[in-house]
Structure 1
Amino acid sequence: MQRRIHDFLDEVVAVKPEATAIIDHADVAYSWQDLTGAVEDAEAAMRARGVKAGDRVVLVFENTISVPAFFLAASRLDAISVVINARLTEAELQRIFDHSDPSLVMFSTDVSDAARAHAAHFGAECVEGRFGQVGLMPRGGATPEPVFEAAAEQVALMLYTSGTTGAPKAAMLTHGNLVNAAHASAKVRGMRADDTCFLALPLSHIYGFVTFLAMCKAQGVMRMETRFSVERMFRALDTDVTFLPGVPQMHAHLFHYAKEQNIPRYEKGLLRYVSSGGAPLDPVWKREAEAFYGLPLQNGYGLTEGAAGVCATNNAFGDPDISVGRPMLNCAFRIDMEAPGAEPDEGIGEILLGGPQVMKGYFRDPEQTAKALTEDGFFRTGDLGRFDAEGRMYIVGRSKELIIRSGFNVYPVEIEATLTDHPEVIVAGVVGRAVEGNEEVLAFVKVAPDCAITESDLKAFVKDRLAPYKRPSRIIVAHELPAAPTGKILKAKLIERFQDQL
């Protein structure tokens, strides 16, 4: 078993150094030996600027070769990588810098306009190496964290779960967390050395980060995209991609693009595995996706504090199962029937996660850590779910997103799935808003620019599909919705963004 995440690289370069590891956004191929050289240069650059074990190194980026070079180099130094998407604002970055107390900040200036702008604003030094071109900003006076020999204790990665609004909160993931997650992901998804993975998922998100490590373990090839492009995704599926992980929004954009090209289904025949995570699967949408790909669409469930995937399906083509599957390698679950939003008669409660993928805690925040972790180490996910008789998990919704309307529990995910059944709706987001003596349901849907569907049309569509108390009082139709780099809708920003239409 690997002791540190950089051991994945060391193992593959020892057996196939000249094999392709990464194909970047410009279709430039890098071998495993090339990646090792990039890591060596990144390590030297960090050492020259005083980075030591226990220090935090903040990486501000969009996907490029420099990113794995620096986080694998940090692993070699027993430093801690803090991965941040470059599309955050300067104020958001400053809050994270102040909270994480890094000794060094890296900006991926070779591919990202946003990172270049941030590097210029913060006065970073331009540095070149086999990792490409980056901006480096040393910050003196950082206080190092304790360093541990045990993989289960030594922190490798910090990911902010609420750093863009309010007080920053960083989940600390250990080498043990990430190594176990990579093994689990590679095993349950059957990753192979002859796979080519389309990796548009940002490495600043735990889904993308662990997918990278899992592909390193499998010794396959990664098409690492700087940003998601449906055109590049479509072309890659016709070129060499065999393995396609994504969020529902990525698949939705692909289907719409193919429809515009008058292509009813994928016919190249290279793809052998496709998965969707981040939202429940509607049965109709699942059937349409499988008809397009000609493959079973696998579902899953994961979270930052659990080092990505903790449940996944392994279904045959046409299986109507819309669960998130069974627990992955060594993951354990409990259902808290006393949590807010629980419905014990229906077997629904808050999901508690245990096992070696559970984070160590929140960085320098014992109060939030104590709230999130039970005394025996289970993480309170805040998600509501249930298990069926066959041990498959179904996600019902978020306890914090639960809408209570006229005394009834309303789960946004059910309404979102109903709205996305409509052929003109690409994605949907549903939130609650307090009104006098009650709470109303608000829905926001994304449609294509040339679509003429109206709010009235969609209200008529859901009338026979949802009980009266579940029906949205407003359905805002838009061509764009606020979204994270993964494409996941930022529900906290929906009401603010469309305030003038409500």
Structure 2
Amino acid sequence: MEIDLQEKTLPCLLKESVRRFAGNPALAEVDGETITYTGVGNLVQHVSRYLRQRGVHEGDRVAILSENMPHWPIAYFSILSLGAVAVPILTDFHANEIAHILKHSQCKVLFVSEKMLDKWQETGVQPENAILIDDFSLLPRQTTRERLRELIQEGRIEIQKIKEIILPSTKECAVREDDLAVIIYTSGTTGHSKGVMLTHRNIVSNALLTNSVVQVHDSDRLLSILPLSHTYECTIGLVIPILGGACIHYLGKPPVARYLLPALEKVRPTMMLTVPLIMEKIYKLRILPQLMEKPVTRFAMRLTAARKGLYRIAGKKLMKLFGGRLRFFGIGGAALAPAVERFLADSGFPYSVGYGLTETSPLISGSPVDAMRFRSSGKVLPEEEVIIHDPDPRTGEGEIWVRGPNVMKGYYEDPEKTAEVLTSEGWFRTGDLGLKDADNYLFIKGRLKNMIVGPSGENIYPEEIESVINKSPWVLESLVFEQEGALSARVHPNYEYLEEQTSRNHMTVSDSKRYIGKLLEELRGEVNGQLSSFSRIRRIIEQVEPFEKTPTQKIKRYLYVT
């Protein structure tokens, strides 16, 4: 159903949804409270009135430093309803980075969760007001987690809840479509954090266009496991479900198996968003070992028809694992391994791969489940233009440029970096390499900055070599880089899988080390046998610890490539 908004602003979007879905559940904790759309509207109105009383006006910056919970969206919409600017901060950021963001954006107020209190105090930055987002309590200055518990136990009046304050009504703020809505500080693979400025029109346009491709209904249930401070989850996992009248459930705990599996059984989500690493781990650690356990299934995996049959059986079990009601499982934020996508496609699992960036609010391309094309990132969204700039005449590959209502305003207080990526004609240079087919489907090859030039000028994409390496059942993840004029790879093994092999053969510690060394050398031979001569790897290094990653689980390459 087409949704018609009077204005493309987030307060207008919320107001319309509160009107249409008043008594429907909107936000819930898996093991806690549920807030209806009417409840959300009332809370947002009350919190925004309080912010106004504390001197927050149009254009003022208000930060949110919190893990996902139902009160996160309340804070977000309260800020935006005033015409103020939300500054969501990733909880994984170091205290030094959080301090930089609070200072650089000149935040007037901070919403902070109890879990993040100590990290905030480490920054030494004190905004004019701090609010505990867990229950909307007003925090005295220099409140640590320990001091907060003492205050609560003592019943001190300093911990006064906004919800209990009687506030005078205020004139509704006239928020305009081109007003700045959020500043999102990115955590990229290059290590440089930039403040991406997105307007109300950017976010709402992207939400409406995405919803026209994959519609969210008021009967849908979502289980949120990605950080709301990232635009992927905030736009697609929050704004679009609110637009469609769905109910979003928050885990309240880390998305590890012991918490996630019972939540999936309880919520039985119809839609979920995730990043490739989550599905890749499920495939490598749960599905593949079972398929390769017996000689008969190992042999069947070599035969296309038999493998598809095994995948369909495994796909049914996977659907049950996710609650049995899934109709849409969105994957984005990084490249999905080909072997994992082949499993998802052949098993009939309702997956869809999309492509976007923080700077594009985020989605550029995506498709319904039944219109996905293998290895593509879906179709370019309506009203968005994509060109492949300076394509290679042989392959058609070039840098992806995008233009449309979703493209950011620029980087906050950084005109130089803004000019590097935004052209005078409004094109955004994504820095990603790819190609587009005749039907407007996008195929992503890798990052322009990651591309390595071969000995005779060949374009080498590390991500493509990594996908070959990661096919191995005992490899969890890898990173390819250039070193002294040759290609090397760091490989993080699946130690659980290797331990089964070594214990089965009663190997000593020194035997195990030699065994892993032998496997690495064999892997190098196998991989090189599948690559062009200019893409072959000279050396493979064992990466004992998992790679450090961004919130969307992309490896922070700058930490490992010198």
Q: 2:60 aligns with which of 55, 61, 70?
A: 55
- The aligned runs of 1:270-309 (5 Å cut-off) are 270-291=325-346, 294-309=348-363
Q: Could you tell me how far apart the structure 2 residues matched to 1:148 and 1:127 are?
A: 25
CA RMSD of aligned residues (A): 3.0
Cross-structure match for 1:424: 474
**Are residue 333 (structure 1) and residue 386 (structure 2) matched?**
yes
Q: 1:477 to 1:328 in 2, by over 3 A?
A: same
Question: In terms of mean alpha carbon deviation, does 394-403 or 444-453 score higher?
Answer: 444-453
Q: Could you tell me how far apart the structure 2 residues matched to 1:214 and 1:307 are?
A: 12
| Identical amino acids, percent of aligned pairs | 27
Q: Is the 8 A contact 2:180 2:197 kept in 1?
A: yes
Residue by residue over 1:252-290, the C-alpha shift from the partner in whole angstroms, topping out at 9 and shown as x without a partner, is 233356449969422433111112113334443212124
> Could you list the runs of 5+ residues in structure 2 that have no partner in the other structure?
143-172, 291-312, 500-515
Cross-structure match for 2:490: 443
Q: Could you tell me how far apart the structure 2 residues matched to 1:485 and 1:217 are?
A: 25
SS in 1 for 2:26: strand
Q: Could you tell me how far apart the structure 1 residues matched to 2:393 and 2:423 are?
A: 21
Q: 1:381 to 1:221 in 2, by over 3 A?
A: same
**Are residue 313 (structure 1) and residue 340 (structure 2) matched?**
no
Q: Which amino acid aligns with 1:214?
A: I
Residue by residue over 1:346-392, the C-alpha shift from the partner in whole angstroms, topping out at 9 and shown as x without a partner, is 11111110000000111122222111111110101111111123321
> Could you list the runs of 5+ residues in structure 1 that have no partner in the other structure?
139-146, 497-502
Q: 1:28 to 1:428 in 2, by over 3 A?
A: farther
Q: 2:239 aligns with which of 190, 213, 224?
A: 213
Higher share of residues assigned strand: 1
Q: Which amino acid aligns with 1:34?
A: G
| CA positional deviation for 1:238 | 3.2
Q: 1:346 to 1:36 in 2, by over 3 A?
A: same
Q: Is the 8 A contact 2:400 2:433 kept in 1?
A: yes
Higher share of residues assigned helix: 2
Higher RCO (CA-CA < 8 Å; seq separation 6+) = 2
- The aligned runs of 1:133-282 (5 Å cut-off) are 133=137, 150-151=176-177, 153-161=178-186, 168-211=193-236, 212-226=238-252, 227-239=254-266, 240-256=268-284, 258-259=286-287, 264=314, 265-268=317-320, 269-282=324-337
Q: 2:415 aligns with which of 366, 370, 376?
A: 366
Residue by residue over 1:218-250, the C-alpha shift from the partner in whole angstroms, topping out at 9 and shown as x without a partner, is 111112235432444433443311112211012
| CA positional deviation for 1:63 | 1.0
Question: In terms of mean alpha carbon deviation, does 97-106 or 34-43 score higher?
Answer: 34-43
Cross-structure match for 1:143: none
Q: Which amino acid aligns with 1:478?
A: V
Q: Is the 8 A contact 1:195 1:220 kept in 2?
A: yes
Q: Could you tell me how far apart the structure 2 residues matched to 1:188 and 1:178 are?
A: 16
Q: 1:126 to 1:320 in 2, by over 3 A?
A: closer
Residue by residue over 1:25-78, the C-alpha shift from the partner in whole angstroms, topping out at 9 and shown as x without a partner, is 544322223323432343234223321101111211211223211110111110
Q: Is the 8 A contact 2:191 2:556 kept in 1?
A: no
Q: 1:439 to 1:278 in 2, by over 3 A?
A: farther
Q: Could you tell me how far apart the structure 1 residues matched to 2:382 and 2:232 are?
A: 16
SS in 2 for 1:316: helix
| CA positional deviation for 1:415 | 1.3
Q: 1:486 to 1:371 in 2, by over 3 A?
A: closer
Q: Could you tell me how far apart the structure 2 residues matched to 1:121 and 1:490 are?
A: 23
| CA positional deviation for 1:439 | 4.8
Q: 1:155 to 1:245 in 2, by over 3 A?
A: same
How many equivalent residue pairs?
475
Cross-structure match for 2:459: 409
Q: Which amino acid aligns with 2:433?
A: L
Q: 1:210 to 1:234 in 2, by over 3 A?
A: same
Q: Which amino acid aligns with 1:350?
A: E
- The aligned runs of 1:3-152 (5 Å cut-off) are 3-24=8-29, 26-109=31-114, 112=115, 114-119=116-121, 122=124, 127=131, 131-133=135-137, 150-151=176-177
The normalised TM-score by structure 1 is 0.85
SS in 1 for 2:119: helix
Q: Could you tell me how far apart the structure 2 residues matched to 1:196 and 1:448 are?
A: 36
Q: Is the 8 A contact 1:198 1:233 kept in 2?
A: no
Cross-structure match for 1:471: 536
